[in-house]
Amino acid sequence: MVDVSAKAVTRRVAVARGEVRMQAETLRRIQRGQVAKGEVLAVARVAGIMAAKRTPELIPLCHPLLIQVAAVSAAALTIYDMCKAIDRAMIIGNIRLIEKRGGSSGVFRRKEARRGKALQRITTDQADSTD
């Protein structure tokens, strides 16, 4: 583990993204609020926030900063969990850091090719700023 206690306090911003691929009917049921377990996207957002706050407890040897890739993973897993009774073939993937600013390593921006909208994909974005 790296000792970060001597690091200066800086404003940090991170954006991460992940995808949950599913059947079109599953997406329609999410959008219409017709999933038995409740409002899927609202619950997934809460799961992402909770995971970001607990990142150092969830990822071994992680220093106590919020990490959004863990948050996106938790949000995506929540979507899967809430919809698995409808669609067990969902695929979680393409989880990645999009942008990071602050800290000693400066700025990182991923260059991504724009893809057309897929009706069968929900993209979970998590953004966080930490002072």
Q: How far apart are CA 102 and CA 81, in angstroms?
A: 34
Of 81, 87, 125, 128, which residue is the catalytic one?
A: 81
What tokens appear for 72 in the block?
């996106």
Confirm whether 131 is a catalytic residue.
no
**R_g (Cα) of the chain, nearest Å:** 16
C-beta separation of 13 from 101 below 8 A: yes
SS (H, E, C) 7-24: CCCCCEEEEEEEEEECCH
Catalytic residues: 81
